Amino acid sequence: MALINQEAKELHCKIVYYGPSLGGKTTNLKWVYQTTASSNPNTSDLMEFDVGTPERTRFFDFLPLDVGEIRGLKVRFHLYSVPGQVIYDASRRLILKNLDGIVFVADSQMDRMDENINSLNNMEKNLKLSGYDIKKVPFVIQYNKRDLDNISSVAELRSALNKNNSPDFEAQAEQGLGVMESLKTLSKSIISALKSGNV
């Protein structure tokens, strides 16, 4: 649910990175932050909520220069990562409030498939509890850690995780591969929804 800041003439959109613990959500956020902050003075600091775990919730916002305007408003994106561990489910639900789109970051390693599936099911449950339908929320899936050994094939990951045929990407977030592609595709989907009047 995009929010309008009339004073700044900005439309604020919230993107949440969701996925299993240590799957690459924070690495994605850090890569996007480093890429945007160096070339864009309209990027906030990368901040974090300390929830007592190495997997803190991180967030920042930026004003992309290439998105344009919607009804005379500049679009500012706020990016958040959720804690990956199930014990922080209440924090996850809180972060999902008023979202405009989700990047689900899956860990491609074979032994992490069950955790990917559990995290995806948890995300769908939390979306439903927050009044969202996964089929209507702009959504992309990222298959991260493609550079490691013992990984599932993309076909196996799609079969297990991409039931709605959402846009999906192979990624190596540590090197930035697939990171901006995932974000740009989701951003375009959000902008398209906003332009069609679903604000």
- pLDDT, residue 82, reads 86
SS3 track for 72-102: CEEEEEEEEECCCCHHHHHHHHHHHCCCCEE
Residue with tokens 């299993």: 20
What domains sit in the chain, N to C, each tagged with a CATH number?
Answer: 3-195 (3.40.50.300)
User: What distance in Å separates the CA atoms of residue 14 and residue 191, rounded to the nearest whole number?
Assistant: 12
Higher pLDDT, 134 or 76: 134
- pLDDT, residue 67, reads 66
pLDDT tens track for 68-126? 677 788 888 888 888 766 667 777 888 899 999 999 999 999 999 999 999 999 999 99
Q: What percent of the chain has pLDDT over 90?
A: 53
Give burial (CB, 10 Å; 0-12/13-18/19+) of 134. Answer: middle
Where residue 199 falls among pLDDT bands split at 50, 70, 90? Answer: very low
Q: pTM of the entire structure?
A: 0.89
User: What distance in Å separates the CA atoms of residue 129 and residue 107, rounded to the nearest whole number?
Assistant: 25
Indicate if the pLDDT at residue 44 is higher than 90. no
- Contact assessment for residue 57 and residue 43, using Cβ atoms and an 8 Å cutoff: no
